Amino acid sequence: ETAPTVKVAVPAVCSVVESCFPAMIPQGTACTLTPFPDVDVQKFVFDGTEDFLELPQTFFHYAAFSSNGKHFVCDLQGTQTDSGDIILIDPVILRAAAPSVNGVVNAAAGAAMGGTGPQAVMGPTGARFDELHPKCAQLCHSFDAGRK
């Protein structure tokens, strides 16, 4: 028996040679096609309210852990096969913004002027990790033993 895996359905860029619906997909245009074996798409890791499924949650945690918290692979959606494999479609990689001189100067200037207003954080944060990954799967402890 093999262990279940996580796979990503990767889109392919195609050129339309012939079209039965040229108003929507004209001949000669480019499009992407994604091979996906199911009709339905299930959300696995999106906003923290999804049904808990061990393999996608472990994959999310491992990606964050292996990047030292700088990358979250989120909006995990797809299907689970009869053999337990997870096939993902269109995952999103949330990355920490690289510090810029402009950002550092603006932050320092705002602090010097007494600015304490909330700043919108678009990248990975500890709070966002906890929101998307409310509990660890058993496999999470194999690579992040300190996490509860």
CATH number at residue 129: 3.20.200.10
Position 64 pLDDT exceeds 90: yes
- Domain assignment present for 137: yes
* Within a domain: 76: yes
Q: Strand locations in the chain, DSSP E?
A: 6-9, 12-15, 30-33, 42-45, 71-74, 76-80, 86-89, 92-95
Domain boundaries, position 72: 6-18+30-98+121-142
Q: Kindly report, residue by residue over 80-108, the tens digit of the pLDDT.
A: 999 999 999 999 999 987 777 877 777 67
The percent of residues in the chain predicted with pLDDT above 70, rounded, is 88
Does residue 103 belong to any structural domain of this protein? no
Percent of the chain with pLDDT over 90: 76
Total structural domains within the chain: 1
Total residue length of the chain: 148
Over residues 122-138, the mean pLDDT reads: 91
115 lies in a domain?
A: no
Give domain status of residue 23, yes or no: no
| Average pLDDT estimate for 28-49 | 94
pLDDT band (50, 70, 90) for residue 118? very low
Residue 74 lies in a domain: yes
Instruction: Quote the pLDDT of residue 53.
Output: 94
Burial of 41 (0-12, 13-18, 19+ CB in 10 A): middle
14 within some domain: yes
Residue 116, pLDDT above cutoff 60: no
**Does the residue 147 lie in any domain?**
no
Buried b (16+ CB within 10 A) or exposed e, 54-77: ebbbbbbbbbbeeeeeebbbbbbb
- Coil, helix or strand at residue 120: coil
